Amino acid sequence: MSTKAKACMKCGSPPMATCFECGRPVTPEAGACEYCGAHNEPGSEDALPNLSTPVDVPPRLPRSKETPSRLSSPVESPSVALPPIATLGEKQAGRSGQSKQQEDNRGASPKPVTHSPPKIEELESEFVDFEEARYKAYCPDCESLFYVKGTTLSKRKKVQCPNHDSVNIGGTHELSKLSLMQADNEVIVYSVIKDFFSYNGRISVTTYWKSILVALVPMLIIGVICSFTLPSLSPLLWFAILSPLWVKRLHDHNFSQEWAIIPGVSAVCMVINSWLLPSMIRGESYPLLSIIALLALIGSLIMGVMISCVPGAKRINRFGQAPNKVKVKWL
């Protein structure tokens, strides 16, 4: 059970409920401070009026005579050798070194663990043309892959899977419905000059204009020669020179070479009109020839815009690999 007593006005410590020297009980109202001996009883010369703060003081049991006094000398402990105490400067230096090392460890990026990849044997690339190129096709009947040559690809509409024993059990597929992939380690090469008169494969718009640049000088020379000998044959000669380029551009749009007959018909109509020009001047008319020449001219203009300006599909069709995956060179 605790007793309320007033704190000392000098040092602020509460008085004890028992005497420190003799252990006699002291009433809280008339008790004296344990440390300074001042009385906090109202009216005493050490008391300060109306400034005391009541606090809870727990009761203390009377100290026995056998209990040693608080002020008695402590028990001497055996001497133990202690390590030397570091000075303040040494402590600060050690702490600064540790903090700096921690900052360096935080700022330093961890070293990446590198694993060397396994060595893969690279196959040497084989350069082929459109006729020698091979394409992988997937047969859905037997779920296997087979190869199709470039010549077979351009001349046939259907192909037979070689993994089937007979045509009766399946294996015949239309090339337009097969998903084709170029054979590994094969690169198709197209030469602007060497393959100029070839009707196989596909060329892009850029390659087409490069070929026109190459054929420009021969066409001018042929035109000058024909103007003095047979001027009416110059359209046919120009068609014969440019027809391989038109066919390869038609292949790029997945059209067959038969569509190149339209500009050929227009060239023939121009030759016939040049031969019939004297009779036309005399008043004779040829309505059927005029209709055919007009239709051929319109078709040639439409085809000319498609051939010279519109790029084809960027995937394999039945005429070969896409031009963007073909290596083009001048010679």
pLDDT tens-place string over residues 292-328 = 999 999 999 999 999 999 999 888 888 888 998 899 9
For residues 247 and 263, what is the distance between their CA atoms, to the nearest angstrom? 11
pLDDT at 7: 58
For residues 178 and 11, what is the distance between their CA atoms, to the nearest angstrom? 105
Collapsed DSSP state (helix, strand, coil) of residue 99 = helix
> Are 59 and 25 within 8 A, CB to CB?
no
Of 127, 173, 162, 130, the residue nearest 149 (C-alpha):
130
- How many beta carbons lie within 10 A of that of residue 6, not counting itself? 20
Stretches in the chain below the pLDDT threshold 50: 1-4, 40-53, 55, 57, 65-80, 82, 118-122, 167
pLDDT tens-place string over residues 160-185 = 888 775 545 566 777 777 778 888 88
pLDDT at 208: 95
Q: pTM of the full predicted structure?
A: 0.59
Of 274, 266, 249, 252, the residue nearest 301 (C-alpha):
266
pLDDT at 93: 57
pLDDT at 191: 93
Which pair of structure tokens corresponds to residue 225? 């020669």
